[in-house]
Amino acid sequence: MGGVATDSSEQDKRGAGASAAHTQALMERRQSLLGPNMSTFYDQPLHIVKGEGVWLWDADGRKYLDCYNNVPHVGHCNPRVVDAICRQAARLNTHTRYLHNGILDYVERLTATFDDALDTALLTCTGSEANDVALRMASAMTGKSGLIATDATYHGNTTAVAKLSASNRSPHGSSSHIRWVPAPDSYRPLGGTAGDAHALAFADAVSEAIADLEASGHGFAAIIVCPHFVNEGFPSLPPGWLAPTLAKVRAAGGLFIADEVQPGFGRLGSHMWGHQRQGVVPDIVTMGKPMANGHPVGGVVTRAEIMAAFRSSYRYFNTFGGNPVSCAAAMAVLEEIEQQGLMENALSVGAYAKQGLEQLAVHHRAIGDVRGQGLIFGAEMVTDRQTKRPASAYTDKLINAIRHRGIILSKLGRHKNALKIRPPMPFQREHVDLLIEILDAVMRETAMEQD
Amino acid sequence: MGGVATDSSEQDKRGAGASAAHTQALMERRQSLLGPNMSTFYDQPLHIVKGEGVWLWDADGRKYLDCYNNVPHVGHCNPRVVDAICRQAARLNTHTRYLHNGILDYVERLTATFDDALDTALLTCTGSEANDVALRMASAMTGKSGLIATDATYHGNTTAVAKLSASNRSPHGSSSHIRWVPAPDSYRPLGGTAGDAHALAFADAVSEAIADLEASGHGFAAIIVCPHFVNEGFPSLPPGWLAPTLAKVRAAGGLFIADEVQPGFGRLGSHMWGHQRQGVVPDIVTMGKPMANGHPVGGVVTRAEIMAAFRSSYRYFNTFGGNPVSCAAAMAVLEEIEQQGLMENALSVGAYAKQGLEQLAVHHRAIGDVRGQGLIFGAEMVTDRQTKRPASAYTDKLINAIRHRGIILSKLGRHKNALKIRPPMPFQREHVDLLIEILDAVMRETAMEQD
């Protein structure tokens, strides 16, 4: 368990006192320089100064097990990635208006992990930029503008992409070309639990949205979803669940955009990409966060005909996109996944973690549902297993208490009552043991009075 | 003149033969992996493999003087920047939901270079993302959506920002909220050359566009311009030229967004920012390319009240934006500008280069106008000095011939007939001498038959 403080020693108490004043000073400086409403995690935000593998350290020297961050996909400060960045940054960093093997070698290796039809790529700096391009690809290919997303999603921060978040509707700018369908929820499935009912209910909702878009004059360009519905609370959906939806989308002449920012790069353990676990081939795939372990890289993979349609409709150049350093960092991530067997690790450690949560559920009635696939797993907290009423305030108390016990994780889902556990990919069984032990201890100590 | 081949030696001839086949193979691989219509520079694109200071090397070992790239602002592979990236990448790279001094120290130092009122910043990964945010800030602050830009500009590649480019209008998506005003042209000034006539003509065009936006129902939110109008051909505009326009914008309740992606970070020599040379204080300033010497960093600097309006209207988080490595790279750029005296260097070397071009104009009738301010300078090529008819094809021939003589530069402006010379900031007088010598030689050898 080395190094994580699981009790309040004298040193921790002193540290906590100094830390609170220090945090307050940083928060004030932040407000003054960056403005209000900058989001932070936890009631008492963390001041992190160092990372290594699955561990983070704060300014007081306290060590935290990182069970949350997917950006440092192959581990914080992964030596192979750092070395690749340093070597290339010292040699050359230009743009794609000059020829360079870095982008070609990387795109060749990246597209080799996809279905044969998905054979071209465009590199950006962020997942938001990738989705912003994907939406234009869909317009260029279909000549239409209507989009479908779920009502509990997030696909990024550009003006065009931010509109896809139903919860983040801005007072400015039209969203009349967007239709939201109810996010899948395996714990409370629309259509019921029998057979394909949930999958068919989702497909029917998509079908209605398509008809509505066609009637509106926008027409139907594309549906964009995370194929593992991670922001929606990563429901347990069997392979094939998306097939009826895909059939409706294809029949209507629309495109399927898979946002692989979260499930991609082997996180699900069984497959490199979330859509592959579902057994479907998207028209466009977008990626971001884990792609280069925190170096700003995003990308779009699609069929050559869609890439050509985009490039003939839009003149697109991204100054930093696909530069030699970015490609070296991204290549190192693919190499590390393969050479360290991180996808296989995600499958086995993820299964072990899910078992651990299921064991906890035997003793803790607050755990209404345990879900997980590879290294994205968690548990939904409820006030009552019969009514399945979300224990949102309790979940918030839990993650704050766990943070003070040296474990970093978060919450998500429509009711913000599901623990979101999504650690760096080198996460091991010993880390699961520590996580489960502290989660158990904190749940024993935490009352559910507010929900 | 060390190392640049100014004639065709045997070795160069062999190199050129091998190089042509090599280039063709790379171009085919690129087309296959990245799709069609990816822009490249030059009739025979360069395959660059190494950079250092103001020099680049191709795969054949040939050395080029870089008179074009502004992204490697403090020099290709600047050791201070590379060292800052490597040290921080090996220590920690997370996001702004944890507290970190890196972003606070950087924003403090960055905003100290601006007028007191411009005291908060938001960091992104690209200049496109920065402009995408700036447009939303203007909507949040004014409650309106109408935008004004020049008819020969480029502000970036997101869906919302790409619409600002009149020359890049897409078949999809509405641009009804945008009005384009004629780009300033000091060589052929609208309104004539007398006194303030040109400045007033521009202000009048902006005024008409404002009235049109108000009548359309969109209302007037903001004008966005590069304060040095670099893409428009960096016209010679005296300080104060923008003042009448600003007065109209302010009177109409709109905001002035200064896109400092090109003139910023001391490039003009006399001031850190292009708007400072103009003597105006924008409401919002955006920056990108040179900000971290090629590491993907962009940003927006604005008044606290505008930041607050944005952050209360839009929930905005940028995963990679303002991360510790990006801030370390950006901080190293500011330090290098200051400690190497690069702004002063830009002023003195830029003046020397402009003199060199003016000398060339004595002998070469094709040079219709010489313009420059700091390290953005060039010459407009014409078929006839009386008619000022643009020699666009000739300019294209020149830059391609110069490339084969080991000098990298480009062309720009409405007619693509102005040499665009915008080297890394450590550019020295000896580099100017080499540039002028080769430009002179190439102009002597190049016929103007196509224009």
- Span A178-188, pLDDT tens digits: 999 999 999 99
Tell me which residue of A269, A249, A259, A205 sits closest to A229, measured CA to CA.
Answer: A259
Confidence of residue B174 (pLDDT cuts 50, 70, 90): confident
Per the CB < 8 Å rule, is B35 touching A304? yes
Interatomic CA distance for residues A168 and A170, integer angstroms: 6
Determine the residue of chain A that is closest to B173 in CA distance.
A145
Confidence of residue A17 (pLDDT cuts 50, 70, 90): low
Q: What pLDDT sits at residue B171?
A: 66
- Span A246-293, pLDDT tens digits: 999 999 999 999 999 999 999 999 999 999 999 999 999 999 999 999
Q: What pLDDT sits at residue B11?
A: 40
Q: Is the minimum CB–CB distance between A446 and chain B shorter than 8 Å?
A: no
Average pLDDT over chain B reads 94
Q: Is the minimum CB–CB distance between B40 and chain A shorter than 8 Å?
A: yes
Q: Exposed, middle or buried, B286 (CB in 10 Å: 0-12/13-18/19+)?
A: buried
Q: What pLDDT sits at residue B12?
A: 43
Per the CB < 8 Å rule, is A101 touching B77? no
Chain B contact probe: residue of A23, A99, A164, A297 with most B CBs at under 10 A: A99
Question: Which residues of chain B neighbour A98 with C-beta distances below 8 Å?
Answer: 40-41, 45-48
Give backbone dihedrals phi and psi of A224, rounded to 5 degrees, phi first: -120, 120
Confidence of residue B393 (pLDDT cuts 50, 70, 90): very high
Query: Could you say which residues from 262 to 301 on chain B have a Cβ atom under 8 Å away from some Cβ of chain A?
Result: 288-289, 293-296
Q: Is the pLDDT of residue A8 over 50?
A: no
Determine the residue of chain B that is closest to A140 in CA distance.
B172
Q: What pLDDT sits at residue A413?
A: 86
Q: What pLDDT sits at residue B448?
A: 85
Mean pLDDT across the stretch B3-22? 52
Q: What pLDDT sits at residue A1?
A: 34
Q: What pLDDT sits at residue B120?
A: 98
Residue from the list B35, B120, B307 with its beta carbon closest to the beta carbon of A307: B35
The residues pairing with B427 across neighbouring beta strands, listed in sequence order, are none
Residue from the list B96, B145, B168 with its beta carbon closest to the beta carbon of A38: B96
- Nearest chain B CA: its distance from A272 CA (Å): 20
Mean pLDDT across the stretch A169-191? 89
Query: Could you say which residues from 127 to 186 on chain A have a Cβ atom under 8 Å away from some Cβ of chain B?
Result: 127-129, 132, 135-136, 139-140, 143, 145, 157-160, 162, 168, 170-173
Q: Is the minimum CB–CB distance between A89 and chain B shorter than 8 Å?
A: yes
- Span A37-82, pLDDT tens digits: 888 899 899 999 999 999 999 999 999 999 999 999 999 999 999 9
Domains and CATH numbers, chain B: 10-69+342-445 (3.90.1150.10), 79-339 (3.40.640.10)
Per the CB < 8 Å rule, is A48 touching B127? no
Q: What pLDDT sits at residue A138?
A: 98
Q: Is the minimum CB–CB distance between B76 and chain A shorter than 8 Å?
A: yes
Interatomic CA distance for residues B358 and B370, integer angstroms: 6
Confidence of residue A447 (pLDDT cuts 50, 70, 90): confident
Q: Exposed, middle or buried, B28 (CB in 10 Å: 0-12/13-18/19+)?
A: exposed
- Span A85-109, pLDDT tens digits: 999 999 999 999 999 999 999 999 9
- Span B67-101, pLDDT tens digits: 999 999 999 999 999 999 999 999 999 999 999 99
Confidence of residue B6 (pLDDT cuts 50, 70, 90): very low
The complex scores an ipTM of: 0.95
Q: How far is CA A145 from CA A156, A226, A229, B34, B157, in A?
A: 18, 20, 23, 24, 18
- Nearest chain A CA: its distance from B258 CA (Å): 19
Q: Is the pLDDT of residue B172 over 70?
A: no
- Span B278-321, pLDDT tens digits: 999 999 999 999 999 999 999 999 999 999 999 999 989 999 99
Query: Taking the mean position of all CA atoms in its chain, how far away is CA B40?
Result: 17
Mean pLDDT across the stretch A378-407? 97
Question: Which residues of chain A neighbour B104 with C-beta distances below 8 Å?
Answer: 26, 29-30, 33-34
Residue from the list A99, A160, A316 with its beta carbon closest to the beta carbon of B26: A99
Tokens, residue B320: 């990679």
Q: What pLDDT sits at residue B20?
A: 83
Tokens, residue B442: 């190439």
Average pLDDT over chain A reads 94
Determine the residue of chain B that is closest to A127 in CA distance.
B319
Chain B contact probe: residue of A28, A98, A111 with most B CBs at under 10 A: A98
Interatomic CA distance for residues B337 and B332, integer angstroms: 9
Across A310-319, B19-28, B298-307, the highest mean pLDDT is recorded for B298-307
Q: What pLDDT sits at residue A403?
A: 97
Q: Is the pLDDT of residue B8 over 80?
A: no
Q: What pLDDT sits at residue B14?
A: 43
Tokens, residue A150: 């779920």
Mean pLDDT across the stretch B118-133? 98
Confidence of residue B4 (pLDDT cuts 50, 70, 90): very low
- Span B400-431, pLDDT tens digits: 999 999 999 999 988 999 999 999 999 999 99
Question: What residue type is B391 in one-letter code?
Answer: A
Between residues A173 and A334, which one has the greater pLDDT? A334
Confidence of residue B147 (pLDDT cuts 50, 70, 90): very high
